[in-house]
Amino acid sequence: MELQCTRPTCPRPLNHFPDLDDNTTLKSASQKFCITCGMPQILAGRYLPLKLLGRGGFGAAFLAIDRYTPTMRQCVVKQFQPSGNLTPEQLKLAQRLFEREAEVLESLGNRHPQIPNLLAFFELDVPSRTPGETERFFYLVQEYINGKNMEELLEQQGAMSEVDVTQMMEEILKVLKFVHDNGSIHRDIKPSNIMKHRDGQYFLLDFGAVKQVTTTASIAGQPPGRSTGIYSRGYAPPEQVAGSVVYPATDLYALAVTCITLLTGKQPHDLFDPLSNSFNWRSETQVSDRLAAILNRLLLPAPNQRFQSAEQVLDALHTCLLYTS
């Protein structure tokens, strides 16, 4: 069995352990260590990282198996791994966002079928490669969604049809209604955070940037309800970019940008006209006037000009589907 070392600085992270190909040995082995850097390979005694899925601003994600399940269930191990030279305050915020993702997955994932379940959250202290020092790593383990995210599908297939985008939009709106009804704002809706399972169902991922709109505690000096500056350029609306108060309409704007990106096959910066401060996307695709009207309203710069809830958008979308069916 080949395992992927999770130490960020390991120069040769792939390790081959032939004895783990035997199920009995796999379930009973006390530990395995990276041949190059000595990092433990069996995390929390049960999770074995098989390959790197990707890296982001705050960490890395690995496909892993849980050896203590009957079917060796696949899962995703996410490691807190901030990139760049962060100030102590920024590092503290980044770590808090990682912890928040685990908290949100635990509170929401187990209650909605289209949000991944949290399986574990733990710290790991290991000897550093520098003698006499110790390194601490933070991990969360979540349900593995077997499919591709919308960014990957866009790269593979090109611009998508109105039918496909409308179906995705409707499903994600239902997830957002649940998230908003539970007092949270996702704040990072974009194609790479929407996964299409092999069976066709859509999932909403990456809850690290979630804002608890009902909280009374401030994070890193930010007043409650205001943005912490965590957003994806091009998808975030003006109020989020400005660090102002965020609303359910903030997520709806980002979902609309995601939709026009998928419909046109073009990135947000290619569709946005700074002179008019609006998106010029309609000429890049063929969609019904009713869907275009819904998306254009969601893309308005002022949050009070947009639909105010996912439920309102769903109602408008259902009316649109009635007229086009």
Which distant-in-sequence residues (6+ apart) come within 8 Å of 325 by Cβ? none
Residue 75 has what pLDDT? 97
Q: What is the DSSP letter of 267?
A: -
Residues 110 and 219 in one domain: no
202 in the same domain as 126:
no
Give the pairing of strands 278-279 and 118-127: unpaired
Provide mean pLDDT across the span 185-205: 95
Examine the domain organization and report whether 137 and 179 are in the same domain. no
For the annotated catalytic residues, the residue numbers are: 188
Residue 70 has pLDDT above 50, yes or no: yes
Pair (219, 92) in one structural domain = no
Report the pLDDT averaged over residues 167-194. 95
Q: Are residues 178 and 303 in the same domain?
A: yes
Indicate whether 50 pLDDT > 50: yes
Task: Indicate whether 107 pLDDT > 90.
Answer: no
In this structure, the answer to whether residues 155 and 236 fall within a common structural domain is: yes
| 107 and 173 inside one domain | no
Q: Which of 143, 167, 186 is the last residue of a domain?
A: 143
Residue range(s) defining the domain that contains residue 72: 2-143
Domain end residue (candidates: 124, 143, 162): 143
245 or 99, higher pLDDT: 245
The pLDDT, as a whole number, for residue 214 is 39
Q: Is the dihedral of CA 121, 151, 51, 6 positive or negative?
A: negative
Q: Give me the number of domains the chain comprises.
A: 2
pLDDT band at 84 (very low <50, low <70, confident <90, very high): low
pLDDT at position 311 is 97
Q: Same domain for 249 and 109? A: no
pLDDT at 181 over 90: yes
In this structure, what CATH number is given to the domain that contains residue 169? 1.10.510.10
In the prediction, which pLDDT does 325 show?
54
Q: In terms of domains, do 161 and 199 share one?
A: yes
The answer to whether residues 137 and 162 belong to one domain is: no
